[in-house]
Chains A and B, each alone.
Chain A
Amino acid sequence: MKVGVLDYGVGNLGSVLRAVEELDVSPVLVDRAVDMHQNDCLILPGVGNFVDCARLLAEGGWIDALREEVLGYNRPLLGVCVGMQLLADVGLEGAGPENPEGTPGLGFVPGRVEHLGTLGCSLRLPHVGWNGIMNTAPGDSLFAGIPNGTDFYFVHSYAFVAEHPEDVLATADYGVPVTAAVRRGHVWGTQFHPEKSSKAGFRLLQNFLAGPQC
């Protein structure tokens, strides 16, 4: 199996690669959009700022190439953290007078990415640390063997607001319900970092790689 980890200029790539290697799978660092096609499934990491990540995706020609791979060839995709947020239609991070509408995302999972404060969270931000997942969609392959309450490592200030509640796979409680994972078809996303969530994270990555289409 070939697992491509997308290197579009940001992300804690070292950590993502190592976590996949730990599962006895050799991941490939894909640093050109045209090379995505050689992989069986794709991981879109992300550490940082939605606007910068979206810009780097656009500049590297990743957006059209991802649409072709994911929508055209049904390539399974897992977005992590900002990589999950980029699956949305739009991100409000960095929105201001000059771009009140926010920044377009990939649009693979309908929804918006909004600041946790806007969503009513009055706790300290960023939301950083280990938090238990809840309301996990029963039977979804991504969470096989991972019970509600399992702690994963989160670090973010913006959160995914899915247009269709059925696309939300799991939530976490941080003063408000926070979308912890999404799925639409063969596109998954986790707000938390499986690559930094020790054994629970390995299990989740293994579940993704064992998915039917991978």
Chain B
Amino acid sequence: MLKVRVIPTLLWKNFGLVKGIGFDSWRRVGPVLPAIKVYNQREVDELILVDIVAHDTGDDPDFESVNDFGQDCFVPLTVGGGITKLLQVQRLLRAGADKVGINTAGYDNPNLITEIATRFGTQCVVASIDAKARPGGGWRCFSHAGAKDTGRDVVEWARELEDRGAGEILITSIERDGTMEGYDLSLVESLASAVRIPIIASGGAGNYEHMVAAVTQAGASAVAAASIFHFTEQTPAGAKAALAAAGIPVRKSYQPSQDA
């Protein structure tokens, strides 16, 4: 049976990890490498690492740093931020990424999603949507780390991303981000029912019950979170125990058998 994943999100700005509220008021969290090391030792299900300033500079992603981060990561690693070209994807995969996160560049050049999916497979593309509620209902997509209103409707865009070959959608509520008030369940549910690819809920998790709700009420295939792991005593292992207690299948760590 497939397990529901608990995924720490690491936001990376210049030289360290940060976490904000509503994509603003960034707090420094610490260096990247030790965080990845600890999460790897604790056998988290997966990691998402996003360079939140890369889209600003127009430079290549920082392949060298990704290469360093990958040294100690033996669980799936999605790397996002600043990806605009196919060749960058190939270099990231060589550096240690397993999947790439596409956000801003997808709006400017939707064909990029198709190209990556065609060349590296749909499973390689995690399409990331940053959403804000629209007065009167629905949600709009924001690019450039939440700074720019693209005018696109979230559900429509998710359908297009699926058609173009995205393998998963990471949906983040900008309003809930960093608040620890819980995921925007209706946002997650709208996407989970609009597309057939897996949805990763993100933005707002403040306790384990929020994660349970994202799965049982909104249909998320995975839950991503940052603040809860950075700023509280709660851990990915604790989250999985809570999910399991709610009857949700989670991954167990490897127990060797004695047959050899």
What residues of chain A have their CB less than 8 Å away from a CB belonging to chain B? 10-15, 18-19, 22, 47-49, 52, 82, 123-132, 144-147, 149-151, 153-157, 173-174, 193, 195-203
Contact = CB atoms under 8 A, between A and B. Distances in A.
B123 interface: yes
**Which of B3, B118, B121, B123 has the most A CB atoms < 10 Å from its CB?**
B121
B198 A196 contact: no
B232 interface: no
Contacts of A150: 254-255
Nearest to B70: A14
A15 B70 contact: yes
- Which 10 A-B pairs have CB atoms at the shortest separation, nearest pair first? A144-B260, A200-B254, A48-B121, A14-B96, A147-B257, A130-B251, A155-B123, A199-B254, A145-B260, A130-B3
A130 B252 CA distance: 9
Interface in B225-260: 251-260
A199 B45 contact: no
B75 A153 contact: yes
Contacts of A193: 76, 98
B85 interface: no
A52 B71 CA distance: 28
19 contacts: A12-B97, A15-B70, A15-B74, A18-B71, A18-B96, A48-B121, A124-B198, A128-B167, A129-B4, A129-B45, A129-B221, A131-B3, A144-B260, A151-B254, A155-B76, A156-B123, A174-B2, A197-B74, A203-B256
Interface string B45-88: 11000000000000000000001001100111100000000000
B188 interface: no
Nearest to A175: B2
A63 B5 CA distance: 37
A146 B256 contact: yes
B93 interface: yes
Interface in B2-22: 2-5
Nearest to A10: B120
Nearest to A21: B71
Contacts, number: 140
A197 B88 CA distance: 25
B22 to A, nearest CB: 29
Contacts of B256: 145-147, 203
Contacts of A130: 2-3, 5, 45, 251
Contact of B257 (A13, A47, A146, A156): A146
Given A124-B197, A146-B256, A155 B2 contact: no
B: contact size bracket:
35 or more
Contacts of A147: 255-257, 259
B153 interface: no
A19 B185 CA distance: 37
B197 A145 contact: no
Contacts of A145: 256-260
A129 B98 contact: no
Contacts of A14: 67, 70, 93-97
A121 B11 CA distance: 35
A50 B78 CA distance: 22
A205 to B, nearest CB: 11
A97 to B, nearest CB: 18
Nearest to B260: A144
B222 interface: yes
A31 to B, nearest CB: 11
Contacts of A131: 1-3
Given A52-B118, A147-B259, A198-B43, 15 more contacts: A10-B119, A14-B94, A14-B96, A47-B120, A48-B124, A126-B198, A129-B5, A130-B5, A145-B259, A150-B255, A155-B76, A157-B122, A174-B2, A196-B75, A198-B75
Contacts of A15: 70, 74, 77, 96, 98
A154 B124 CA distance: 12
B28 interface: no
**Which of A15, A131, A150 has the most B CB atoms < 10 Å from its CB?**
A15
A18 B97 CA distance: 12
Contact of B93 (A13, A49, A124): A13
A76 B99 CA distance: 28
Contact of B98 (A12, A123, A125, A126): A12
